[in-house]
Amino acid sequence: MQPERFPTMYPGSDDPTASPSELYRQSLVMRAIGTPFVADLLAAVDRQLDKAPLSAALIRSWGDTAASSAIAMRINAALHALARRGAEPRLAALYAGEHDRFDDAVALALAAHDEFLVDWLLRVPQTNEIGRAAALHAALMVLAKEYGHGFELFEIGASAGLNLNLTRYAYDLGGVRTGKPDSTVRIAPEWRGSPPPDAVVTVAEARGVDLHPLDVNDPAACERLASFIFADQPERAERLERALEIGRQHPPRLEVGDAATWLAERLTDTQADHRHRVVLHSMVLQYLSAEDRARIEAGVQRAGASATPDCPFATIGFEWDDARERVELRLRSWPDGRDRVIAHCHPYGAWIAWIGG
């Protein structure tokens, strides 16, 4: 199966080497993944950006790191936040579908709220997309089939910790129904390829870390998460609300800290026999420094070297590939030392193209 790739070139240019702005490039990506409203919004921001000189200068200062820093998602969420609070009536009307004059509404918002936008641009995105939980759960099913142990999960960049509650959601994974069947959160991505192994996933412990973890009981934090949901995907917004309700009933175990230091400490904790230790991360590595990524990898390799059949270890990553052309679900496991890409995925989990375990 050929993996789906996302646009990287500048269509309509006579120069095949020409590079679009990151905002325009991301508008193409959004259209490719089925979010036309966000595509039109980002294209309008690209055209009107100089109406907000502080934001324009900040965005352009990112240079080659603009894509990995997700500046388009930051500005999109900032404008969504303005619309949700009614701070700019023309923008709110655009989001409500009352008109389609993107440039007019965006220009007014950029000019009137430049400092607000800068504040959002300076903060790392907090999507905590639970649609990705389907891919993470499928990878755990592979490990459960191979080893048969219960899991202890360590998630880095956990945001509000909603994916730490992944066993509390119901899934349909290529016809395999799994998870908690009566859950109010149901995740059924479009499945391509053969189904995952039908194995029960049992989580004995789940812990996460984030530099700025979001509290599911804090209305402002929940509103921030909602702002990162694309405005033309109301089903994602509804699913987020239900996941937040579950999070309030079953609070995720979250700690404040940097991923590399926290994980190094957790990986030295005693691992119980017949317990499978797994490190999870989804759309996190791009925000870490090269030094922190190297520290995390060193800790992973040490943990892998000490793994045994009774105390296995694994990492599950849901991340862009190096070329940022596709999202890979990568499973690394020890003591066998295997490193496998087991699926290619939609960035927000809408589809999963299964390769296999």
Does the reported pTM lie above 0.75?
yes
Could you count the other beta carbons within 10 Å of the beta carbon of residue 255? Answer: 14
Banded pLDDT at 11 (limits 50, 70, 90)? very low
At 357 the pLDDT is: 60
Residue 95 lies in a domain: yes
CA atoms within 13 A on the CB side of 328: 16
The residue behind tokens 């870490």 is 288
| pLDDT score of 138 more than 80 | yes
Contact status, residue 140 vs residue 155, Cβ threshold 8 Å: no
The angle formed by the CA atoms of residues 159, 160 and 162, to the nearest 5 degrees, is 110
Spatial separation of the C-alpha atoms in residues 96 and 113, rounded to whole Å: 20
Beta strands in the chain (DSSP E): 150-156, 170-173, 176-179, 186-187, 190-192, 203-210, 253-256, 275-282, 313-320, 327-334, 338-345, 351-354
Q: How many other β-carbons are positioned within 10 Å of the β-carbon of residue 291?
A: 9
Structural domain includes residue 195:
yes
| Tokens 């299964």 found at | 354
Q: Are 257 and 209 in contact (CB under 8 A)?
A: yes
Same domain, 335 and 198: yes
Q: Return phi, psi of residue 342, to 5°.
A: -100, -10
112, burial (CB in 10 Å: exposed 0-12, middle 13-18, buried 19+)? middle
Does residue 12 fall inside a structural domain? no
On whether both 100 and 173 belong to a single domain, the answer is: no
Place of tokens 């189904």: 195
Same domain, 101 and 58: yes
- My answer on whether 302 and 215 are in the same domain is yes
202 shares a domain with 99: no
Q: Which residues pair with residue 70 across a beta bridge?
A: none
Domain end, chosen from 72, 93, 121, is at: 121
Query: Looking at the chain, how many residues does it have?
Result: 357
Reply yes or no: is the peptide bond before residue 89 cis, omega within 30 of 0. Answer: no
Residue 11 lies in a domain: no
Q: Which of 79, 97, 121 is the last residue of a domain?
A: 121
Q: Which stretch of DSSP H or E encloses residue 84?
A: helix 71-84
pLDDT of residue 324: 83
Average pLDDT over residues 186-212: 96
Closest CA to 266 of 229, 315, 231: 315
Residue 171 sits in the same domain as residue 253: yes
354 SS3 class: strand
Residue 1 belongs to some domain of the structure? no
**pLDDT over 90 at 216, yes or no:** yes
Tell me the mean pLDDT in the region 249-265.
96
> Are residues 215 and 82 part of one domain?
no
Q: Which amino acid appears at position 148 of this protein? A: G
Residue 154 domain boundaries: 130-354
In whole angstroms, what is the distance from residue 226 CA to residue 220 CA?
10
Query: How large is the greatest C-alpha to C-alpha distance in the chain, in angstroms?
Result: 62
Averaged pLDDT, 154-164: 96
Q: Does residue 94 lie within any of the structural domains?
A: yes
Of the two residues 65 and 45, the one the predictor is more confident about is 45
Q: Are residues 161 and 116 in the same domain?
A: no
Final residue of a structural domain among 58, 88, 121: 121
**Same domain, residue pair 243 and 324:** yes
111 & 72 share domain: yes
- How far is CA 217 from its chain centroid? 21
270/346 same-domain check: yes
**Please, which pLDDT band fits residue 20 given cuts at 50, 70 and 90?**
low
Residue 10's pLDDT band (cuts 50, 70, 90) = very low
How many domains, the chain? Answer: 2
Residue 173 falls inside a structural domain: yes
Q: Which residue's structure tokens are 């490193």?
A: 339
* pLDDT higher than 70, residue 7: no
Task: Say how far apart CA 304 and CA 70 lie, in whole Å.
Answer: 31
Provide the CATH number for the domain around residue 182: 3.40.50
Q: Is residue 208 part of a domain?
A: yes
In this structure, are 47 and 139 located in the same domain? no
The rounded mean pLDDT for the chain is 92
